[in-house]
Amino acid sequence: MDDATLVERAKVDKEAFGHLYERYVDKIYRYIYYRTGNEADAEDLTARVFFRALVHIDDYEERGHPFSAWLYRIAHNLVANWHRDHSRHPVLTLEDMASWQVKEKGPEAMATLLDDKEALLDAIRRLPADRRELLILKFVEQLTNAEIGAIMGRSEGAIKSLYHRTLVSLRRELKPAPPSKRSLRSWWRRAASSGQEDD
């Protein structure tokens, strides 16, 4: 049964809301957990999202966005209030944000992958909160720009622009610094000495 049908049934039969809950509870919990970094708070806020949705289901109107976007919007607002109440910045655990693959095998390739992953996560943690949220919605939740816009209260064009600026910022931050003369000399000495050992 599609969301629209379930929503209409839930307006007259609250038990039908249980199907919507089962369909989206894991996704909403994961989104909140990535924004809070705390299991207990994520569980509490997830329960509040669905309670609020149940109470206001009669007011829900489909406006070109899926029902899930409405749930994410409620979650977005509750998490924003949670951060304001706790006077702290979002703590994100982004380890699962992207799928990491290694083409080469062996300990050196794995070490390089871990270094690259840590550098990316550090760069993401330094982004402003709205850009971190955008990346979570885009890569973890795999939502469209229109859905993200509905959740964050911005137009689809604004989301595209923010996404582009975020990627440019990350690319600039992750761009390797040019080696200094000293590090080049050090590298050359190591390369030359290892070459002599092979002779």
Quote the domain boundaries for residue 75. 1-91
Whether residue 196 is contained in a domain is answered as: no
Q: Give me the tens of pLDDT residue by residue for the chain, a chain 199 residues long.
A: 888 898 999 888 888 899 999 999 999 999 998 888 888 899 999 999 999 999 999 988 888 888 999 999 999 999 988 888 876 544 444 444 444 444 455 555 555 555 667 777 778 888 888 898 898 888 888 888 889 998 898 999 899 999 888 888 888 887 765 555 555 555 555 655 555 444 4
Residues 77 and 27 in one domain: yes
Whether residue 73 is contained in a domain is answered as: yes
Residues 78 and 57 in one domain: yes
Residues 24 and 104 in one domain: no
Structure tokens at 107: 């300990």
The CATH number that applies at residue 33 is 1.10.1740.10
> How many structural domains comprise the chain?
2
Residues 85 and 5 in one domain: yes
**DSSP state at residue 98:** S
Residues 83 and 103 in one domain: no
0.85 surpassed by pTM: no
Helix, strand and coil in the chain, % to nearest 5 = 75, 0, 25
**What's the number of CA atoms in the CB half-sphere (13 Å) around residue 98?**
12
pLDDT value at residue 52: 93
